[in-house]
Chains A and B, each alone.
Chain A
Amino acid sequence: MNPSPSSLLPSPGAGDAGAIALRCTDLHRHLGQGEGRVHVLKGVSFEARRGQVYAIVGPSGCGKSTLLYLLGLLDQPDAGEIAIKGQVMSNNDDHARTAARGAHIGFVFQFHFLMLEFTSLENVMMPMRKLGKLTPAAMTDRAHQLLASVGLGDKTHRLGTQLSGGEQQRVAVARALANEPAIILADEPTGNLDVKNSTMVFDLLTRLARDHGQAVVLVTHNPEIAQRCDAVRPMRDGLFV
């Protein structure tokens, strides 16, 4: 079921469209140890503006996902800088990076990554409960609206295990939007879905992000998906080409 435009949420960040949400400069990252140590990122620079959808493409092992996790502050670079909304975060401590993730970044992972013991509603409320900006009633309202906007308004009380793969990924999209983040990072968000669901999830992600003025950076192997993005950044051997 496709959501109707009227079900979409207000977009407080939409007014900042075009502003730089994320910038990284000369990122280096090595993975592994000893003889197995590999220089995965070799000085990558990148910026993402609000309201734009970026696709990072490239062969497996070129460093796409590593870059995404660095941009999402899930990992730390060996060298280089990452700034979120103009604030350099790459060298901050774990506490500050975690707080920044909660407030400014939404993630959509390839394998759904819903917490399966929780209902759709609870999954979407989880980031809001941690951030603690809204009252419980407001959180519930917002979660209901987000789920309605991804076409799951009638499945709010279903557990993760009771949803199909496509539905789980749509809940994950709703959850990524929960705290109105400036940036949405998606690692192969459609990689595990059939064509129909892939299209639905991608449309949702891009439409909601544009309406809300969020920068969307997605890693994909799917050329059709990549072509529909505002910008495509191909990667090879740890560098943009």
Chain B
Amino acid sequence: MSPNLHIAFRFLTAKKRAMLMSLSCTVLGVGLFIVTQATTSGFEDFFIKTILGTDGALRVEDKMQDTLRSMHAGGGSDFLISHREGVKYIEGVEEPKLVVSGLSQFANVSGTSAVLRGTVVIRSSFKNESAQVFGIDLDSHLKVSDLQHQIVQGSLAALRESPTGALVGKVLADRLELEVGNSFVLDAQGQLRRYRVSAIYETGVSDIDKTRVYVHLPEARSLLKKPIGVTFIQVNLFDKDRAPADAFQMQEVLKHSARPWQYREKAWLSAFRALSVSSAITVSVFTLIAGLAMFNTLAMIVLEKTKDIAILRSMGYERSDITRIFLWQAGIVLVIGAFAGALVGGAGTFLVSRIPLPINGIFKTETFQVSWNGWHYVEAVVTAAIMVMAASIIPARRAARLEPGDIVRGTAQ
């Protein structure tokens, strides 16, 4: 152990009460930072998981057609009249197989599912509701969604075995008083077809659960009278965060609009980000308090140890040694505080994750959602380190500036 560290340790342990106060503030600051970030990020992550599990990482939909950008003035002139650049969208994907083939060339694409969507009226023996029918190829769709984990009644096997089977959202099923095995009619502009409930799903997203009915793609084609083409192709990606870049490339290559999840859910994501920043600011106040406590402790030690500083300086300890001795004290509190704070943060996060909190609407959960992310611990420790060390510099430098002659003279007289 270096002499400076040794002296720092003794100075610190001599002021047990003040040191424990600084330590508890640091532990509390780090712990609360971790818990708050874990809960805020937990809900954001869960929301992202939900939206990726329902509508996929991105959707390739309407075909894009470049509009005329310039035209000859006519009359044998070479003069060109410029038009504003623009893109015309043709609804849907006319040739899904070609587009799917093109999408398979993207290394980040992990799955694609062609979906035909249409507005219908669903009629049960109890009442009618407007709904949206989604024609899917079940196996393909399972690769781009969490549908298999969203089934709350019935089974996907029943849908696979029944050409006229359907998956109905829980809210819609409740409204129509439909159970697994019940039949219902879908009415698409006068085209009536009867289906049977193979399973009831629940995503937790109320807009989906109250409107969507999944049927086999050929059935949807017959119902909606669309023998070719699809409404969109849902795409899943290995790296979800690269969706915007991939979407841009897909648009360029496939000439179809592509909307990444970040763009699609921009409003909610912005709200979560604002909440995250807000809570980070709040918990930074706790680490600021830790810094102030450290400042207070060190300032007190400097005042009480002026004689010791004079002794050290008279023995050949330099100003930089005195600064280091006080910074070491802050460092010791920081290291112990960060370690204990991380443990407290981890334990707090675990306990919070057990708190019952039923939420339904934008996602479905029964308990507090937390995120176990190592970066939260790194951020908490770095924030505490900045606060504590910054707060320690002033007393440490003040201690180093003390003139040994002045101290000794003052004490002697």
Contacts and interface: CB of A to CB of B under 8 A. Distances in A.
Contacts of A162: none
A160 B187 CA distance: 95
Contact of A98 (B10, B317, B405): B317
Contacts of B313: 74, 98, 101
Contacts of B6: 129
Contacts of A127: 315-316
Interface in B308-323: 308, 310-319, 321
Contacts of B311: 107, 109, 113-115
Contacts of A131: 316
A101 B316 contact: yes
Interface in A149-175: 175
B404 A187 contact: no
A126 B403 contact: no
A72 B407 CA distance: 14
B403 A130 contact: no
A69 B409 contact: yes
A194 interface: no
5 contacts: A65-B409, A65-B412, A74-B314, A109-B311, A127-B315
Contact of B307 (A95, A102, A113, A187): A113
B190 interface: no
B317 A130 contact: yes
Nearest to A131: B316
Contacts of B308: 115
A190 interface: no
A228 to B, nearest CB: 22
Contact of A101 (B315, B403, B409, B411): B315
B315 A95 contact: no
Nearest to A115: B308
A37 B311 CA distance: 27
Which 10 A/B pairs are nearest by Cβ-Cβ distance? Answer: A102-B316, A75-B405, A74-B405, A129-B3, A127-B315, A117-B10, A69-B405, A117-B14, A107-B314, A74-B404
A15 to B, nearest CB: 24
Contacts of B316: 98-99, 101-103, 127, 130-131, 179
B359 interface: no
Interface residues of B, number: 28
A94 B412 contact: no
Contacts of B412: 65, 109-111, 187-188
B408 interface: yes
B116 to A, nearest CB: 80
A227 B408 CA distance: 26
A110 B412 CA distance: 7
A235 to B, nearest CB: 16
A214 B321 CA distance: 28
A118 interface: yes
A101 B321 CA distance: 15
B411 A102 contact: no
A129 B7 CA distance: 11
B319 A94 contact: yes
A111 B411 contact: yes
Contacts of A90: none
A118 B7 CA distance: 9
Interface residues of A, number: 32
Contacts of B405: 69, 74-75
B314 A95 contact: no
B322 to A, nearest CB: 10
Contacts of A65: 408-409, 412-413
B201 interface: no
Contacts of A187: 408, 412
A52 interface: no
Interface string B102-120: 0000000000000000000
B47 interface: no
Contacts of A66: 409
B33 interface: no
B295 interface: no
Contacts of B411: 109, 111
A118 B307 contact: no
A126 B408 CA distance: 19
Contacts of A118: 10
B11 interface: yes
Contacts of A95: 318
Most chain A CB neighbours (cut-off 10 Å) among B3, B7, B314: B314
A130 B3 contact: yes
A43 to B, nearest CB: 20
Interface string B312-337: 11111111010000000000000000
Nearest to A188: B412
Interface string A121-136: 0000011011100000
Interface string B1-38: 00100110011011000000000000000000000000
Contacts of A75: 403, 405
Nearest to B308: A115
A187 B403 CA distance: 17
Interface string A79-116: 00000000000000011001101110101011101110
A179 B313 CA distance: 15
B370 to A, nearest CB: 43
B273 to A, nearest CB: 49
Contacts of B10: 115, 117-118
A114 B13 CA distance: 17
Contacts of A102: 315-317
